[in-house]
Amino acid sequence: MAWLDAHTIFDADAFTAPVIGVAATLGDHDSGLHRHHRGQLLYTRQGCTRITLAQQLCLLPPSRAAWIPPGVSHRAVMQQSVDYRSIYLLPECCNDLPQQVCVIEVSPLLRAVLEPMATAAFDTDWQHGKFAHLLGLCLSEIAEAAQQPMLLPLPRDQRLSALLSTPEQLPPELQVLEQKIGASARTIGRIFQRETGMNYQQWRQQWRLMRAMELLAIGRNLGYCAFELGFASDSAFIAFFKAMTGNTPARWLK
C-alpha cells in the first residue's frame, strides 16, 4: 500500500502484483494529464474530485467511484481536502469490467472491500486466501454497480476551445457565446447536438448541476453556490437542484 502526499511520485505500473492499492488525503492537488497500463478504480471517501478525460468531464462526489479502463488518458483535480482510495488492476483483471470510463455508486459491500485492498502490502498474494476472495468480490461489484450520470461530454469543435479551457467557470448564456465565437445559435445547437447528444442549454444545465454538486461537496454554502452558478437567489438555486435531482441540496448532501 502507498500512503501518498501531494509531493509523492508514484507509478502503479512499476509493480508486478495484480493489484496495487493507494490511500491518500490530498488538498488542492492536480495529477496532470497521464495514463497507465493498469485499470484504475478511484473512490472518493470525502471531498470531491474532478476528472478530465479526452472528451468528457467527470465528477466524483463522496460515495462515488470512477472506473478508468487501462490506457485512458485522464487528469484528476482535487480541491481542498479529498480523502480517497484507489486500486490499480492489471489489464487481465479487467476483461469483464466496463470498457468505457464510468462513475458508479459504491455499495456498502464494495466500500468494505476497497479498504483492505487499498491498504494491502504490495507483495500481497492475490491468488489465494482472503485477498483472492476480496478481489473476486471487488470485480463483481464493479461490473454490477449502477452507473451514475456524472459524466459530461465535451464538444470537440475548435471554436469552443476557450469555453472548455476553464472547466470551473460558468459557461456563458447562448447569446453571449454566439458573440464570442462568431457562430449563430443554430450552428452552436448543431455542434452540441452532434458532439454531446444535447443542445447547448441542456449541456449548460448539466454543467451547472455537476458544478453545484462539486461546490456543495467541498463545503460551499447555498449563497455561494447560487452566485457562482448564476442564480438570482438561493431559492432559485434550490428549485433548480431539486428539479434536476429530485432532492434539495441539503438532502443530497446527507
Provide the whole-model pTM.
0.76
Q: What is the mean pLDDT of residues 80-104?
A: 89
pLDDT in tens, 142-194: 999 988 777 888 888 888 877 777 777 889 999 999 998 888 999 999 999 99
Give the SS3 label for residue 46: strand
Q: What is the mean pLDDT of residues 232-239?
A: 95
Cell numbers found for residue 198: 444535447
> What band does 1 get if pLDDT is binned at 50, 70 and 90?
very low
Q: How many CB atoms lie within 10 A of CB 234?
A: 16
Cell numbers found for residue 102: 464510468
Q: Which percentage of the chain shows pLDDT scores above 90?
A: 49
Q: How far is residue 6's CA from residue 189's CA, in Å, rounded to a whole number?
A: 41
Q: How far is residue 137's CA from residue 224's CA, in Å, rounded to a whole number?
A: 41
CA dihedral sign of residues 113, 74, 103, 5: positive
Question: Of the ranges 46-55, 117-126, 134-143, 222-231, which one carries the lowest mean pLDDT score?
Answer: 46-55
Q: How many CA atoms lie within 13 A of 215 on its CB side?
A: 22
Whole-number CA gyration radius for the chain: 19
238 with 249: CB under 8 angstroms? yes
pLDDT at 58 over 90: no
Q: Which domains does the chain have, with CATH numbers?
A: 2-144 (2.60.120.280), 155-253 (1.10.10.60)
pLDDT in tens, 97-109: 999 888 888 999 9
Give the SS3 label for residue 73: coil
